[in-house]
Amino acid sequence: MARIRAGIINVTGYIGSDLARLLYQHPQVELKSVTGRSAAGQKLGDALPYLNETRLLIEDKLDNDIDVVFSAMPHKSSVDIVPALLKKGIKVIDVSADFRLQNASEYLAWYGFNHPAPQLLGEAIYGLPELHRSEIISADLIANPGCYSTSAILALAPMVKEELISSDIIIDSKSGVSGAGRSLSLVTHYSEANESTCAYSIEGHRHLPEIKQELERLSSGSSLAITFVPHLVPMTRGILSSCYASLKKGWLNESAQEKLQQLYREFYKNAPFIRIMSKPPQTKYAWGNNSCFIYPTVDLRTERFIVISCLDNLVKGGAGQAVQNMNLMFNLSETTGLTALAIYP
């Protein structure tokens, strides 16, 4: 089979550079074209020295002779270029938020702009393979999920689908600093972020509408009251989400823990990157790897359900998930090129 000719837009950002790392090692991919505004004209191997064997140049325009493009642009910029790529017959995996929300009016509310291509929101598939595998296979446009969203949705999906928890859900997430991207900002300065932790966007983080959208699809449309509080923690990669909800009556007994394990293992039995744990996971288990570790449990004293999930925000939360989607779109095994293990400690 001919190799898939792939392009990356914005290869110099954190997601773009992790895409380059993964696609370069992918046995069925030829990385054919990469763009990056500030590094245009440089060799890819000069900008990302661990890729020094490639002769690719970073260009300011994409070579259109490709099968699939990964757009790693900031939100609001991606939507300006994606429609033209689709018209040329190129499949698009967009890692920005520009096609994740089904309802166009939510873009004004959450992202502050009127969506210029609302017709594409109906065509875009939310690229979470564990929930939308069959639609991803035939999609031309993938809206790759947000990093926090991936960790929260995967943690809660089995319980919401089985209607075992109340509609009142709390998601408390911690992210490493790379989640804020490579652009400089005061909060991500070493002396501000190191040895410090803070909550932010308590009044409403932009990943909340997609978390709500996807969980409500599973709960047959009934409305969920979700409180999502993200935190910045002093590490480079990783997201850990601790989620809480009240268990519905009648489910709690001595075997609840065992039943939870069975439920999660059954729900994710065809999901090669989901690891159901019998103890709380830590972010290092997923460092550089495409896995999401999930530990469901109950607090017997309060009858509260607790689920902890963790992943690497740049891999399962971004570039790795995008490659997983590409594998499905091109009829490859879902794990192709994504089998590298985490680095520990």
Ligand X SMILES: NC(=O)c1ccc[n+]([C@@H]2O[C@H](COP(=O)([O-])OP(=O)(O)OC[C@H]3O[C@@H](n4cnc5c(N)ncnc54)[C@H](OP(=O)(O)O)[C@@H]3O)[C@@H](O)[C@H]2O)c1
* Active site amino acids: 147
- Bond from prior residue into 345 cis (ω within 30 degrees of 0): yes
Say whether 103 sits in a helix, a strand or coil.
coil
- Interior angle at CA 329, CA 48 and CA 35, nearest 5: 30
**Interface residue with ligand X, options 73, 142, 208, 235 (CB under 6 A):** 73
Residues 95 and 322 sit within 8 Å (Cβ to Cβ): yes
**Interface residue with ligand X, options 75, 115, 132, 174 (CB under 6 A):** 75
Stretch that binds ligand X, among 24-32, 69-77, 85-93, 290-298 (CB under 6 A): 69-77
The tokens describing 113, both together, are: 């702009």
Q: Which is nearer to ligand X, 158 or 176 (CB)?
A: 176
CA 146 vs CA 97, 207, 341: distances in Å:
7, 6, 22
**Interface residue with ligand X, options 72, 159, 292, 326 (CB under 6 A):** 72
**Interface residue with ligand X, options 147, 165, 311, 328 (CB under 6 A):** 147
x/- string (CB under 6 A) for ligand X, residues 259-298?
A: ----------------------------------------
The least CB distance from residue 124 to ligand X, in Å, is 14
**Interface residue with ligand X, options 23, 31, 82, 95 (CB under 6 A):** 95
Q: Under 8 Å CB-to-CB from 95, ≥6 apart: which residues?
A: 15, 70, 71, 72, 144, 318, 319, 322
**Interface residue with ligand X, options 74, 112, 116, 280 (CB under 6 A):** 74
292-321: contacts with ligand X (CB under 6 A): 313-314, 317-318
x/- string (CB under 6 A) for ligand X, residues 12-51?
A: xxxxx-------------------xxxx------------
The secondary structure of residue 194, as a DSSP letter, is T
Q: Which is nearer to ligand X, 129 or 317 (CB)?
A: 317
Q: Which is nearer to ligand X, 147 or 154 (CB)?
A: 147
CA distance 228 to 220: 21
Stretch that binds ligand X, among 59-67, 114-122, 176-184, 282-290 (CB under 6 A): 176-184
Residues 63 and 32 sit within 8 Å (Cβ to Cβ): yes
The least CB distance from residue 220 to ligand X, in Å, is 28
Output phi, psi for 230, to 5 deg.
-85, 150
**Interface residue with ligand X, options 25, 54, 77, 257 (CB under 6 A):** 77
Q: Which is nearer to ligand X, 165 or 235 (CB)?
A: 235
CA 224 vs CA 116, 209, 230: distances in Å:
29, 11, 18
The least CB distance from residue 13 to ligand X, in Å, is 3
The least CB distance from residue 53 to ligand X, in Å, is 23
User: Is position 183 an interface residue for ligand X (rule: CB under 6 A)?
Assistant: yes
* Strands, sheet with 91-94, edge to edge from the N-terminal-most edge strand: 58-59, 29-35, 4-9, 68-71, 91-94, 141-143, 125-126
- Residue 18: alpha-carbon gap to chain centroid: 13
Q: Under 8 Å CB-to-CB from 17, ≥6 apart: which residues?
A: 11, 48
Site for ligand X (CB under 6 A): how many residues? 28
Give the E-state strand segments of 176-261 in sequence order: 198-199, 225-232, 239-247
The secondary structure of residue 290, as a DSSP letter, is -
Q: Which is nearer to ligand X, 211 or 298 (CB)?
A: 211
User: Is position 149 an interface residue for ligand X (rule: CB under 6 A)?
Assistant: no
Longest dimension (CA), the chain: 64
**Interface residue with ligand X, options 33, 178, 241, 283 (CB under 6 A):** 178
Site residues, ligand X (CB under 6 A) = 10, 12-16, 36-39, 72-75, 77, 95-96, 146-147, 178-179, 181-183, 313-314, 317-318
